[in-house]
Amino acid sequence: MQKDFHYYAVMVLAHLAGFSPAEARVIAYSSQFVDDSSDSGQVKVGDYYFDTVRTAHLGLQFFTWNVHKKIYFPFHFVPSLRWDGQYSPYATTADCTLSRLPVERALAERGELRLYQLGVALHAYADTWAHEGFSGRRHLENDVRALRRFVDGEWRRCRRAWDVVLDLFRARVGHLQAYAYPDLPYERWRYVDFRGRTFERDNPARFCHAARAVFDWLCAARGTRRVSGKWASLEKQLRALFALVPAGGRHTLAERCAAWVETFPEAFADNALGPHYDPHQWRYEALRIAGSGDLQSFLRTDLVRFQRAALRQRFLVLERMM
């Protein structure tokens, strides 16, 4: 999933669940920032050094087990840890037990990290629908063959020049060989796995299922009840947004994000920082305070609270994988 779900959809769902604009933004920003927190260096605050927690990775180190273990498994491909005859225990499955555990822990939290933990947990949880059948390790189980997209009433081949590079490096990590298709809300696509089995994915339907589950968790966290009739009406709007794609083309990510703001302006109206997500905001604010040497203020920044929440989730997932 991309920013249109992890930030904009989560913001709307948090708003509808009854969270205040400030609370909804912390949840939604934490959810999306999981894909943007790629820092790995130390931050110097006076005489103190703060070790950052990376939840996203860009670069050729995606081949390494260290990245698989510390980044992909805890935040993007939470494993099911059970063999069901269809997928490996390392592969994620929609709504798998381990993906629910960080959300449950966030709901039980009563301290300053609660909303940050909830956002981080909901990112990994929602991804179990988009990433189902794929794992966070480099393995044959992630092999994708005969990739097709359903366009204008027919299945079309998706072979690209990039496939040669992927095949050369045997880069079977996550859904790399399926490109971004698992994360695009409007796609209907299919593939054949290394055992010769065909899997078909209807992303608008999957994203709607994920949104409903996320909404249920947010209502539980806020102490409100989801009204079935209200959801039926809401689901029509969500599906229309997820399926939004022009005939013969694709909407850009920016256009898809803008559509959420246009459809649910009330969810973004009270945001003093503007309706759109800025991946640098938390980082720049924390670095500004770090430069002043004020350690106590630095430790209270959104960035530090997010990274503490992410560290808790990493430990929680990895402990159960041992």
Q: What are phi and psi of 80, to 5 degrees?
A: -75, -30
CA 84, 90, 94, 97 torsion-angle sign: positive
Q: Which residue has the tokens 């994988």?
A: 321
Quick check: 257 pLDDT over 60? yes
Quick check: 160 pLDDT over 70? no
Quick one: pLDDT band at residue 250, thresholds 50, 70, 90? Answer: low
Quick one: pLDDT band at residue 169, thresholds 50, 70, 90? Answer: low
Quick check: 154 pLDDT over 80? yes
Q: Collapse the DSSP code of 173 into the 3-class scheme (helix H, G, I; strand E, B; otherwise coil) and give the result.
A: strand
Q: Which residue has the tokens 């927690």?
A: 53
List Cα–Cα distances, 296 to 80, 156, 165, 204, in angstroms.
Answer: 39, 56, 48, 45
What pLDDT is attached to residue 85?
73
CB 142 within 8 A of CB 172: yes
Work out the percent of the chain whose per-residue pLDDT is above 90.
68
Question: Running DSSP on this structure, what letter comes out for residue 138?
Answer: B
What pLDDT is attached to residue 170?
60
CB 78 within 8 A of CB 124: yes
What pLDDT is attached to residue 32?
98
CA distance 213 to 207: 10
Quick check: 247 pLDDT over 80? no
Q: Which residue has the higher pLDDT, 243 or 271?
A: 243
CA distance 313 to 99: 10
Quote the strand ranges of the chain, DSSP E.
42-45, 48-51, 145-151, 154-157, 188-192, 198-202
Work out the mean pLDDT of the chain and round it to a whole number. 90
Average pLDDT over residues 34-55: 92
List Cα–Cα distances, 158 to 133, 155, 265, in angstroms.
Answer: 19, 9, 36
CA distance 225 to 18: 10
- Nearest Cα to Cα of residue 29 among 67, 68, 55, 64: 55
What pLDDT is attached to residue 166?
56
What pLDDT is attached to residue 41?
84
Quick check: 188 pLDDT over 60? yes
Q: What are phi and psi of 223, to 5 degrees?
A: 80, 25
Helices (H), the chain: 3, 10-17, 21-33, 65-67, 73-75, 97-108, 114-130, 162-169, 203-222, 228-242, 253-263, 265-268, 281-292, 295-299, 302-321
